[in-house]
Structure 1
Amino acid sequence: MRNNILIIIPAYNEEESIAQTVAQLTASCGYDYIIINDGSTDRTGEILQENGFHHLSLPVNLGIGGAVQTGYKYAYRHDYDYAIQLDADGQHNPEDLKKLVAEIKHSDCDMVIGSRFVEKTGYKGSLMRRIGIYYFYHMLKWVAKIRITDPTSGYRIVNRRVIAEFAQSYPVDYPEVEVLVKLANKQYTVKEVKVEMNERQGGQSSITPFKSMYYMGKVTFFSIIRSVF
């Protein structure tokens, strides 16, 4: 019987971490996975080919939104019941995958987010990142009337209904918060469970202080538009 759970791994220039991430993933569970190589310019594509990892390679860099939506389109067309987003840089602990799966099946929620803050964890994070998380927590309370302690977490699982939504429409960049507004407006249910997150296994985050400010302004603007219209 085919697995009904797909793990989506967007990857852009993750040559230092992708092999270890997949090794940890396959050692932790037997779920299907698809790596979306988002037009990487380093050896990411070669590593995927050399190791026979399941992947799709985009001809150009679409950004995180386009890469993730490609994964959701794949999940929808191949009739998966659940899809999980997992970072290629090793920050998401694969040992928590079964916890996310169990929660969405037992609670009948539409999305379950792996949270660093719903319960106390060892996560520290930079000051700018913590400020952003705090800001979006309050913004979501105001705009979408939902309480999400870790709104920027990309470690999340969704059911078939949400897979169909995301396959049709997904924000281009910085999508994590914006999709929560979309789901809340459409009366989908979202829940959080505690997860532990690791440091990056390699490479550098693309989020700079300037990009963080742009991110906060852009997401707030589009979230307000979504809540009104």
Structure 2
Amino acid sequence: MDKDKKIGKSEVLIIIPAYNESGNIVRVVDEIRNKYSEYDYIVVNDGSLDQTRKVCHANHIHILDLPVNVGLTGAVRAGMRYANYHDYKYAIQLDGDGQHKPEYIKTMLKAMIELNADIIIGSRFKTQRKPITARMIGSQLITYAIFITTRGKYIGDVTSGMRLFNRKMIKRFGYQLNYRPEPDTLAYLINSGIKIEEVQVDMRERVEGESYLDVINSFKYMTHVLINILITQWFRNR
């Protein structure tokens, strides 16, 4: 796209990675268009195998259409490059399943400015306790691993995909391979001097579709993340 064809005049771009979200994406985007039109948005269709692309075009949704599935990291990277190209000051990632509420963007922006933070996480557990479930126990283990390896930085909601990034982080997540939207990257970033803070938010339950993180995949995911936090991060370029 040409630089003069930027969607709007907002300083904020909402990046919505979407993989097989045909049942959710219209509702997600309509909420933004109808209630939060002060923000720009882009749906990054990550090579969906369902009707996500057709649904987006039929409903005149702004879409960055990736021809193949590149995974969350690749989809977010594409969105960040779009944000950088169009000179957005802030970018926020909202999931395409509708769990994240745009009403909290204003609060997160305020916190970023007041705290001079590079990343603000929309956290379910900033002021509330995690429920005792197998998945939340895994999340807590990751929280403790980050706490230990960063000498005391507590991140309560390590798996939250609702994250606000400043201009510096837009460039880094867009163009540096060591920057991935995963929990292990939080430890790496904090140890690299990046300031990360949390803001309490409320999230919805997924309406349609299913998360790929079933019991087996959740265990594999947690193990992989813990290894990256405890060992691999020390070998990544800073």
TM-score range, shorter chain: over 0.9
1:178 to 173, 184, 197: 184
> Where does residue 25 of structure 1 map in the other structure?
32
Q: Is residue 165 of structure 1 aligned with residue 172 of structure 2?
A: yes
Matches within 5 A, 1:29-68: 29=36, 30-68=38-76
Task: Give the number of aligned pairs.
Answer: 226
2:135 to 123, 129, 136: 129
The code of the aligned residue for 1:8 comes to: I
> Where does residue 190 of structure 1 map in the other structure?
196
Q: Is residue 88 of structure 1 aligned with residue 79 of structure 2?
A: no
State the SS of the aligned residue for 1:84: strand
State the SS of the aligned residue for 1:210: helix
Higher relative contact order (CA 8 A, sep 6+): 1
Query: Is 146-155 or 20-29 further displaced after alignment?
Result: 20-29
| Structure 2: segments with no counterpart, 5+ residues | 1-7
Instruction: For residue 28 of structure 1, report the CA deviation from its aligned partner.
Output: 3.0
> Where does residue 209 of structure 2 map in the other structure?
203
Per-residue CA deviation, residues 163-184 of structure 1 (Å, 9 max, x unaligned), is 11111225698x3212212211
| Percent identity for Structure 1 against Structure 2 | 39
1:98 to 96, 106, 112: 106
Could you tell me the TM-score, scaled by structure 2's length? 0.89
Per-residue CA deviation, residues 160-208 of structure 1 (Å, 9 max, x unaligned), is 11111111225698x3212212211210101101000000021111111
Name the CA distance, whole Å, in 1 between partners of 2:178 and 2:211: 20
Could you tell me the TM-score, scaled by structure 1's length? 0.92
The code of the aligned residue for 1:189 comes to: K
Instruction: For residue 144 of structure 1, report the CA deviation from its aligned partner.
Output: 2.5
RMSD over aligned Cα atoms: 1.9
Q: Which runs of 4+ in 1 moved over 4 A?
A: 170-173
> Where does residue 144 of structure 1 map in the other structure?
150
Name the CA distance, whole Å, in 2 between partners of 1:87 and 1:49: 19
State the SS of the aligned residue for 2:122: strand
Name the CA distance, whole Å, in 2 between partners of 1:27 and 1:171: 36
